[in-house]
Amino acid sequence: MEPQTTENTEVASRKADVLAPRIEWEYVPSRESTDIVEIADRYDLFIGGEFRKPKSGKYFPTVDPATEETLAEVAEAGPDDVDAAVAAARAAFEDGWGRMPGSERAKYIFRIARMIQERSRELAVLETLDGGKPIKESRDVDLPQVAANFFYYAGWADKLEYAFPGFRPEPLGVAGQVIPWNFPLLMLAWKVAPALATGNTVVLKPAETTPLTALVFAEITAEAGLPPGVFNVVTGAGETGAAVVGHPDVDKVAFTGSTEVGKLIQSQVAGTRKRLTLELGGKAAHVIFDDAPIDQAIEGVVNGIFFNQGHVCCAGSRLFVQENIHDLFVDKLKARLATLRVGDPLDKNTDVGAINSRQQLEKIRQLVEAGVEEGAEIYQPQCELPDRGYWFVPTLFTGVSQSHRIAQEEIFGPVLSIMSFRTPAEAVEKANNTPYGLSAGVWTSKGSRILWMADRMKAGVVWANTYNKFDPASPFGGYKESGFGREGGRHGLLNYVKHAGGRP
């Protein structure tokens, strides 16, 4: 059969259409109201069930990274304050939290979970104000996950004896927890929910750039009637964190943050009785085979690296594309980048918000400059950024080699390094060629190849034909320098229990 449509009729039949005006359609800003949030001028430390002025007498500002305006002043806990917090936690543990029947502890945790749901809009807005993440993410991802983690671990509290056959679990005591600024309340939930469910008490040190939601959470625990001292918050920077980690009466240290700090902590607790879990950096490989569902893989890659401005320890920051589709894939990715909406995190239509802090912005800039200097080709879409605040345009690097810094170091920003591979074995070799091993992604239509890859990639999580999927029931954690210990699921309980009367 001969094709019937010729080039000429095609052009002729289109002529009238070309003259038709295109319709331009902009989304006007749709800003989430901040009326629901009341931010105090000043926040004190939460110790023993009440807010206490810091013995240090010092306060530091926390700013909205989208406007650079100070939101509030927050107490800086010194060694005496940390001492008081650990003492309160110890007393609460001894006074009964540790021996309370699981079914009783569960009531408090369920109550906290429900109160988080009730106040989720307020908490989402506050998370966005203090941290710069888009409201659609804090509203649709962070807060639902936070509540889900408390519900999930509340359910375990009275079933611990059945969690590990042949193992009689007992709480460790006082847990010192230091959490990062990328998912402030969610990282709190990951650590606090299992600790409380297993009968431990907590001293939490939130990140200095994002302390506010942890302080509102402290209010919630008080309203929920959680016995004083079971949960304590000491705000401050690295020194406060070091005081928590180094406190002699802390039984358990849990840290999420950079590998650099994680190494310091590990050496600090070496030779002590303290148990340790570390969830550290990552440089995840996202591997795209030529039989992948291409358009969905593009979305997966975008989600993998631009979710939360790339401030994600499991961000898919290294993209490996099979060489025979490399150019096509990169073209599509560039086109997709142009549709990302960067700007006001409170606008419900914003896809990429503000960089969390000036310091982080500087670090991203330095690494991107290094990428350009080392000869990788940079691509950034046209993007209008607000005048004030910390912003970074979503960025792609092509022509990247394994030896480039941008292929090796964690950037923790919206920057993707793209490389190619030829065979599955080469993809695995390159994907594993990093000191990190937190997560990885594979896109292919072939089920057997997914399993083959998952077997070989040294990463705590391997996502297949999706990315950034979390569930409280699913464990998460790293290989190699991405840390050890698993958070989430039944595995997450293990970090906070010991075998009654002996070694686990």
Partner 1 sequence: MTLTPTRQAILPDRLTNSTLTSFLRSVPSVDEVAVAERVASLSTRSIKRESKAHALRMAISMMDLTTLEGMDTPGKVIQMSSKAVRPDPTDPSIPSVAAVCVYPAMVPYARQAVEGTGVKVASVATYFPSGQVDIGLKVEETRQVVEAGADEIDMVINRGAFLSGDYFRVFDEIVRVKEACGDAHLKVILETGELQTLDNVRRASVLAMAAGADFIKTSTGKVSPAATLPATLVMLEAIRDFWAATGVKVGMKPAGGIRTAKDAIRYLVVLNETLGEEWMSPDWFRIGASSLLNDVLMQIRWLETGRYQSADYFTKD
Q: Would you give the binding string for partner 1 spanning residues 408-447, x where CB under 8 A is met?
A: -------------------------------------x--
> Which residues touch 149 (CB under 8 Å, ≥6 apart)?
186, 189, 190, 193, 472, 488
Distance, C-alpha 304 to centroid of its chain: 12
Indicate whether 455 belongs to the interface with partner 1 (CB under 8 A): no
452 touches 424 (CB < 8 A)? yes
Q: What gap in Å lies between CA 439 and CA 307, rounded to an integer?
A: 15
In the list 34, 268, 433, 465, the residue contacting partner 1 (rule: CB under 8 A) is: 465
Size of the site for partner 1 (CB under 8 A): 38
**CB 283 → partner 1: shortest distance, Å?**
24
Indicate whether 26 belongs to the interface with partner 1 (CB under 8 A): yes
In the list 17, 35, 38, 455, the residue contacting partner 1 (rule: CB under 8 A) is: 17
**CB 303 → partner 1: shortest distance, Å?**
9
Residues 27-56, interacting with partner 1 (CB under 8 A):
27-28, 30
Q: For residue 378, with 0-12 CB atoms within 10 Å meaning exposed, 13-18 middle and 19 or more buried, which class applies?
A: middle
Which residues on adjacent β-strands are paired with residue 378?
A: 397
Q: What gap in Å lies between CA 269 and CA 277, rounded to an integer?
A: 11
76 touches 59 (CB < 8 A)? yes
Indicate whether 474 belongs to the interface with partner 1 (CB under 8 A): no
In the list 11, 36, 425, 473, the residue contacting partner 1 (rule: CB under 8 A) is: 11
Indicate which residue of 76, 127, 279, 481 is catalytic.
279
In the list 68, 140, 369, 373, the residue contacting partner 1 (rule: CB under 8 A) is: 140
Q: If you search the block for the tokens 């320098």, which residue do you land on?
A: 481
Indicate whether 4 belongs to the interface with partner 1 (CB under 8 A): yes
Q: Residue 139 or 274: which CB sits closer to partner 1? A: 139
Q: Residue 269 or 292: which CB sits closer to partner 1? A: 292
Q: What gap in Å lies between CA 481 and CA 463, rounded to an integer?
A: 20
Q: For residue 159, with 0-12 CB atoms within 10 Å meaning exposed, 13-18 middle and 19 or more buried, which class applies?
A: middle
Indicate whether 448 belongs to the interface with partner 1 (CB under 8 A): no
Which residues on adjacent β-strands are paired with residue 202?
A: 175, 231
Indicate whether 502 belongs to the interface with partner 1 (CB under 8 A): no
Indicate whether 473 belongs to the interface with partner 1 (CB under 8 A): no
Per the annotation, the verdict on 383 as an active-site residue is no
Q: For residue 57, with 0-12 CB atoms within 10 Å meaning exposed, 13-18 middle and 19 or more buried, which class applies?
A: exposed
Q: If you search the block for the tokens 């391997």, which residue do you land on?
A: 462
Residues 316-345, interacting with partner 1 (CB under 8 A):
331, 339
Q: Residue 30 or 423: which CB sits closer to partner 1? A: 30
Q: What gap in Å lies between CA 162 and CA 168, rounded to an integer?
A: 9
Q: Residue 296 or 402: which CB sits closer to partner 1? A: 296
Strand-strand pairing, 415-421 and 275-279? unpaired
In the list 56, 272, 349, 380, the residue contacting partner 1 (rule: CB under 8 A) is: 349
Distance, C-alpha 431 to centroid of its chain: 21
Three-state DSSP string of 12-61: HHHHHHHHCCCCCCCCCCCECCCCCCCCCCEECEEECCEEECCCCCCEEE
Indicate whether 382 belongs to the interface with partner 1 (CB under 8 A): no
In the list 272, 432, 466, 474, the residue contacting partner 1 (rule: CB under 8 A) is: 466
In the list 15, 25, 35, 501, the residue contacting partner 1 (rule: CB under 8 A) is: 25
**CB 30 → partner 1: shortest distance, Å?**
4
In the list 119, 136, 252, 311, the residue contacting partner 1 (rule: CB under 8 A) is: 136
Strand-strand pairing, 483-484 and 169-171? unpaired
Q: How far apart are the first and last CA of the chain?
A: 75
Q: If you search the block for the tokens 């990788």, which residue do you land on?
A: 376
Q: Would you give the binding string for partner 1 spanning residues 272-311, x where CB under 8 A is met?
A: -------------------xxxxxx--xx-----------
Indicate whether 10 belongs to the interface with partner 1 (CB under 8 A): yes
124 touches 138 (CB < 8 A)? yes
Q: Residue 402 or 445: which CB sits closer to partner 1? A: 445
Indicate which residue of 32, 76, 137, 313 is catalytic.
313
Strand-strand pairing, 45-47 and 50-52? antiparallel
Per the annotation, the verdict on 279 as an active-site residue is yes
| Residues involved in catalysis | 279, 313
Could you list the residues that contact partner 1 (CB under 8 A)?
1, 3-7, 10-11, 13-14, 17, 20-28, 30, 136, 140, 291-296, 299-300, 331, 339, 348-349, 445, 465-466
